[in-house]
Amino acid sequence: MAKVTPIKDTKVTQCFSYEVTMLIHIIADDEITAKKQHDEKGGIVTRREVKLVNTDVVYGEGNLDPK
């Protein structure tokens, strides 16, 4: 009889994709300084809207939880 290599079990996970819209305030003397500060340190978030746009099943190697 031929030796058969078993197929590895896969662990099912999901990838969630979000669209995030934020309003950020930065206190600075001018726009160039504000942009530099934003790039380096961020700013004060005053509004944050999050919208789920997609989910996909992702398969990876590992053991499935017996349920």
Residue 31 lies in a domain: yes
Contact between 46 and 23 under an 8 Å Cβ cutoff? The reply is yes
> Which structural domain range is residue 15 located in?
10-61
Is 43 exposed, middle or buried (CB count within 10 Å of its CB: 0-12, 13-18, 19+)?
A: middle
Domain membership of residue 39 (yes or no) is: yes
Q: Tens digit of pLDDT for each residue in 2-42?
A: 787 777 777 788 999 999 999 999 999 999 999 999 999 99
Residue range 21-31, pLDDT digits in tens: 999 999 999 99
pTM beyond 0.85, yes or no: no
Q: What's the number of domains the chain is made of?
A: 1
| Residue 33 belongs to some domain of the structure | yes
For residue 5, being part of any structural domain is answered with no
Q: Residue 30 carries which side chain, given as an amino acid letter?
A: D
Residue 21 is which amino acid? T
E strand intervals along 5-64: 10-25, 44-61
Q: Per residue in 41-66, pLDDT tens?
A: 999 999 999 999 999 998 765 554 54
pLDDT computed for residue 7 by the predictor: 72
- Closest Cα partner for 46 from 24, 21, 15, 18? 24
